Amino acid sequence: MIRVQRLKTMSLPSPNLKIEARACPSAYLALTGIWLALSAGYCWLALRSENDSLKVGAIIALSVALVLGLWLHGFRLRVSNDRIEHRDGFYRCTVIETPQITDIKHSLVEYRFLGRTLRVPRLVVTWEDSSGLKHLIINTKPFQREVVRQIERVGALLRKDGAKSKPSSILYLDESHD
């Protein structure tokens, strides 16, 4: 369960706060590199052989690399004094006005998949609007670590007591654990 305190005032580090991040090159290398190498290997073999299935293998590997590259290209994170904007890999955009934000912290988010429970670290932005308390769960792996640290510093300013958040807290995604 996440404890939420509504903030009355907020002072950010500078009046011109602007953080903008996209997926870093190492994320592209990690996800697409093996597929590009596989495609290059298939192309090399296809040039030396007359087997058409090698060409199909090259096309499939290159297609997977392209799809993963486009997925990573979708990730964007913008933080300014007046709002936080997050776009995920599927190009879904969420914009949160800064006065609505109640907390920003790293948490373990629990997913249930095929009868198993997976706990993955995520950055959770908690905000409140007219329909109630909401959570934006951000996968920070595509972004550079320094950008994530800057956003965590903004989150520390948002917390009333200035205490560090506990990264071991768990956010359950189903209604039975609220």
What's the pLDDT tens digit per position in 69-78? 999 999 999 9
Tallying the residues shown for the chain, one arrives at: 178
Give the integer Cα–Cα distance in Å for 86 and 103. Answer: 15
Nearest C-alpha neighbor of 109 from the set 48, 170, 154, 62: 170
Residue 96: enclosing H or E segment and its boundaries?
Answer: strand 93-97
Angle between helices 52-73 and 25-48 (to 10 degrees): 170
**Phi/psi at 77 (5° precision):** -140, 125
The pLDDT, as a whole number, for residue 154 is 78
Question: What is the pLDDT tens value at each position of the chain, 178 positions in all?
Answer: 333 333 333 444 455 678 899 999 999 999 999 999 999 999 999 999 988 899 999 999 999 999 999 999 999 999 888 889 999 999 999 999 888 888 888 889 998 889 899 899 999 998 888 898 999 999 999 999 998 888 888 777 765 444 444 444 555 554 344 3
Give the pairing type, strands 170-172 and 101-113.
parallel
